[in-house]
Structure 1
Amino acid sequence: MRPLPMLPPASLSRTALDRNHSLRSAGIDAVWETGRAHAVVGHRGNLLISRGGLHLLTREQVPQNALLFYLGTDAAGDHFVGAALLDEGRAELDRWVGAQQARDAEAWLTDPIGGLDATEPTWMSLRDLGEQLDDRDVALATSLTALANWHFAHTHSPRNGQPTEPVLSGWVRRDPEAGSEHFPRTDPAVIMAVVHTDEQGEERLLLGSNAMWPADRYSLLAGFVEPGETLESAVIREVQEEAGITVRAPRYLGSQPWPFPASLMLGFTAEAESMAASADDDEITALRWFTRSELRDAIAAREVAVPTTVSIAGQILYSWLANDSDAPSDRL
């Protein structure tokens, strides 16, 4: 197969943030005391946004029961605290936003911009914001979402079942009795463009439809890395399990955090030895091979739905489509 280029930082992989470990160890109060700290808030995977980016709050505006994390500092020297809200905190903040809108009702009615550019604060999901936020804000939003998911799911020690408490500005949970420390979980998963090249040199990409998806939705094969396994071995094993074919020459392309709830997606290509694929009928219910022209036509005709470039799956898929010198750019 024709080698694909390494993926540039895109979507949730982008960053313009120094995580600033030295200030992290000083604690959240020290961050606020810099006088240059702002809060960004999240609730169940949604972020508060306004005027083209994450909406920034002062220390006093953050609901009292929010779980706080120090996320880092930007190039201008401003510091950012992530605030993960419980349901009551979201309700409290929504009441404040409503009061602000009522106070500024005339300006709000004459400038009813929606979405990311909303004049007044509004909530949007990270999946929808992944390609719209700038590099700094997408790094803040991704870290906040990942940390919030971990904290809310890991409130007790796995060793003795005792409640733990956040320390190190939200990057560690500690058992106050035993003193054991527990760190945020990240689950590595491989996702691969499986390509077969025939005797004439034409490439075909293998896409699968997951049992939980609509019948017309297709994507690259993927799976979690198992304990004691290399990334390359995981690529070979997952393709064998899901499609029943042997692949060789796994080649790394890039990675992307995917905090839904705690994955790190590691992108690969792999060369298929044959096209005799068979869906496992457990996770994968259908498999299809596509040439570039067939896939472009199927997407254009809405015969198949494929991932957008907010995910690394879409980034790899469209990179493969574009990796053809004869392809007209207006068909991508």
Structure 2
Amino acid sequence: MRRNHLSRGTDGDLSDVWARSGTVGVLSHRGYLLVAAGRLFTVSPADVPPGGTQIYLGIDPEGRDYIGIDLDDEGRTAVDQRLARDRDRDAEDFLDSPSGIHVTEPTWLGLRQIATELNDVDAGLACALVAVGNWHRTHTHSPRNGSPTEVVNGGWVRRDPGTGSEHFPRTDPAVIMAVVHTSPDGTERILLGNNAQWPEGRYSLLAGFVEPGETLEAAVIREVWEEAGVLCESPAYMGSQPWPFPSSLMLGFTAEATSLDLRPDGAELFAARWFTRQELLAEIEAGSVAVPGEVSIAGQILSSWLTAGS
């Protein structure tokens, strides 16, 4: 999927994009996406619902342009009413119909529910639409003078019509790290934490936002020390994942702990534990520990560490 910024236009009017052959729209509302038959549900130019903000999302490998429509509440109501009329007209046996992302009838589902089941094109469309749509909903006025802003550049910029100042979607960098301690006998243990807002038994990798003027590597070392009281070294980059809840870029690292000492801060981190691979797998199987799934980079990094020892 190419974002194709040269085709976004210079203002908020996407009429020329809608006029291109094959252009389709995908719909979101407050972080939910309309899906059917295992894909994002698409609308033609003739069926574009009213309300909301239109965002040019790019062009797929077949040359099809996509426009995301982040609906306001009135637009969502209009779509739901139209879908209800279609269901009444074309009723199907719901007892035999698929569920989840594979539903036959268009259904609203959260991005967290469907991210791992979408193909690469749809996953990219969904993440961009949810992230930029949230930014539009929460940044309707200029931070300089409080004036209402207008949507320009294909939905990727908001401009103060009075001063001409332009405002762009923000992405907040956050580091997330697999902190591993290796004993003299070669036994590896990974550090996992229980966030103060999570239920007991839910553990994940430590993470935190990068501060202004800070390198990513320095953020890894600082966050691990602040949250868990663990000194670590040799941060190594692993990969990244956009995390549109609402606007983060998660940057994955590994790091080496210098000791097994722990001092959870009690504020962000309620508890912290060291696990060998065998201990963690046993507790997951017993149900005493829950870890993130592979929809998140935390789950992907953790899964990679667990399988590295097999």
Letter in 2 for 1:21: H
Q: Quick check: 1:19 aligned with 2:19?
A: no
Q: Quick check: 1:84 aligned with 2:70?
A: yes
SS in 1 for 2:192: strand
Instruction: Give me the TM-score of the superposition, normalised by structure 2.
Output: 0.97
Distance between the aligned counterparts of 1:69 and 1:196, measured in 2?
45
8 Å contact from structure 2 (residues 50, 78) kept in 1: no
Question: 1:149-228 alignment to 2 at 5 Å?
Answer: 149-228=134-213
Query: Which sections of structure 2, spanning at least 5 residues, go unmatched?
Result: none
TM-aligned CA deviation for residue 52 of structure 1? 1.1
Distance between the aligned counterparts of 1:58 and 1:170, measured in 2?
19
Distance between the aligned counterparts of 1:317 and 1:110, measured in 2?
38
Distance between the aligned counterparts of 1:167 and 1:108, measured in 2?
44
Distance between the aligned counterparts of 1:245 and 1:289, measured in 2?
11
Distance between the aligned counterparts of 1:287 and 1:40, measured in 2?
41
Question: What is the match of residue 96 of structure 1?
Answer: 82
Distance between the aligned counterparts of 1:67 and 1:111, measured in 2?
36
TM-aligned CA deviation for residue 295 of structure 1? 0.6
Question: What is the match of residue 320 of structure 1?
Answer: 305
Letter in 1 for 2:5: H
Pick one of 202, 212, 230 that aligns with 1:245.
230
Instruction: Give me the TM-score of the superposition, normalised by structure 1.
Output: 0.91
TM-aligned CA deviation for residue 127 of structure 1? 0.3
8 Å contact from structure 1 (residues 101, 108) kept in 2: no
Question: 1:223-234 alignment to 2 at 5 Å?
Answer: 223-234=208-219
Question: What is the match of residue 53 of structure 2?
Answer: 67
Larger relative contact order (Cα-Cα within 8 Å, sequence gap ≥ 6): 1
Question: What is the match of residue 129 of structure 1?
Answer: 114
Query: Percent identity over the alignment?
Result: 56
8 Å contact from structure 2 (residues 190, 274) kept in 1: yes
Q: Structure 1, residues 34-56: CA drift from partner, whole Å, max 9, x if none?
A: 12210100011110000110000
**Structure 1 pair 198–109 and aligned structure 2 pair: CA distance change class (3 A):** closer
SS in 1 for 2:249: strand
- Provide the alpha-carbon RMSD of the alignment: 1.1
Distance between the aligned counterparts of 1:219 and 1:113, measured in 2?
32
TM-aligned CA deviation for residue 161 of structure 1? 1.1
TM-aligned CA deviation for residue 110 of structure 1? 7.4
Q: Quick check: 1:117 aligned with 2:102?
A: yes
SS in 1 for 2:42: coil
Q: Quick check: 1:41 aligned with 2:27?
A: yes
Q: Structure 1, residues 131-187: CA drift from partner, whole Å, max 9, x if none?
A: 000010000000000001111111111111111111001000000000000010100
8 Å contact from structure 2 (residues 56, 66) kept in 1: yes
Q: Structure 1, residues 76-112: CA drift from partner, whole Å, max 9, x if none?
A: 111100000111111110000010011101x455752
8 Å contact from structure 2 (residues 51, 75) kept in 1: yes
Question: What is the match of residue 261 of structure 1?
Answer: 246
TM-aligned CA deviation for residue 241 of structure 1? 0.2
8 Å contact from structure 1 (residues 23, 30) kept in 2: no
**Structure 1 pair 109–212 and aligned structure 2 pair: CA distance change class (3 A):** closer
Question: 1:243-322 alignment to 2 at 5 Å?
Answer: 243-322=228-307
8 Å contact from structure 2 (residues 189, 275) kept in 1: yes
Task: Give the total of aligned pairs.
Answer: 308
8 Å contact from structure 1 (residues 279, 285) kept in 2: yes
Pick one of 26, 46, 50 that aligns with 2:36.
50
Distance between the aligned counterparts of 2:94 and 2:100, measured in 1?
15
Distance between the aligned counterparts of 1:252 and 1:159, measured in 2?
37
